[in-house]
Amino acid sequence: MRIPILLFTSALWIQAANAASYDRVVATLETTAVTASDVRLEEALQQGLPSRWLPTNADPLERVLQTLLIRQAAGDVAVYQPEDSAVDALFDALRGRHSTSEDWSSWLAHAGQDEDSLKAALRRRLIAERFLIRNLTVAVESDRWSVECAALLQRLGASARIRKVPPLDQTE
């Protein structure tokens, strides 16, 4: 009697394991993993809702790493935490760029997100933006913004352990 139950349980576990989708780690910042889906999301966000504060010509992986550096520096300090209404406004602006619910669903699927995880990603983006606005000495509209931003990111990254994982076809 125990063997059939064990076999049945094993079969269910194998089916569940095969049904799961796996994501690949493409980089680490300290102990935080950056996955391929994180990079896909950043690429999709940059196309649909460009960042005002990070260079738009930067590689999506670099933008993800820069955001993580800033998030680590910001920590959980209350002044950097956006109101839910700010997250909702950004979410609505992004959703408003899609004319149909099918188009929106397709965009979410391409970005590897559902609406809740997208809101969490938008919250992280707003925290990073608030950190930069409060810590840089120039206005966002200034010609010096990108220079000051790059200098701050260089300082933040100087002591960070960043490891980029080569693509699977280059690991041999």
pLDDT in tens, 145-167: 888 888 898 999 998 999 999 88
| Continuous H helices in the chain | 2-19, 36-48, 60-74, 84-96, 101-111, 115-135, 145-158
Contact 9, 147 (CB under 8 A): no
The helix/strand/coil state of 76 is coil
pTM: 0.77
**Better-predicted residue by pLDDT, 23 or 13:** 23
- For the domain bounded by 2-166, which CATH number is listed? 1.10.4030.10
Amino acid at 120: A
In whole numbers, what is the pLDDT of the chain averaged over residues? Answer: 82
Question: What's the confidence (pLDDT) of residue 1?
Answer: 54
pLDDT of residue 6: 44
Comparison of pLDDT for 56 and 126, the residue scoring more: 126
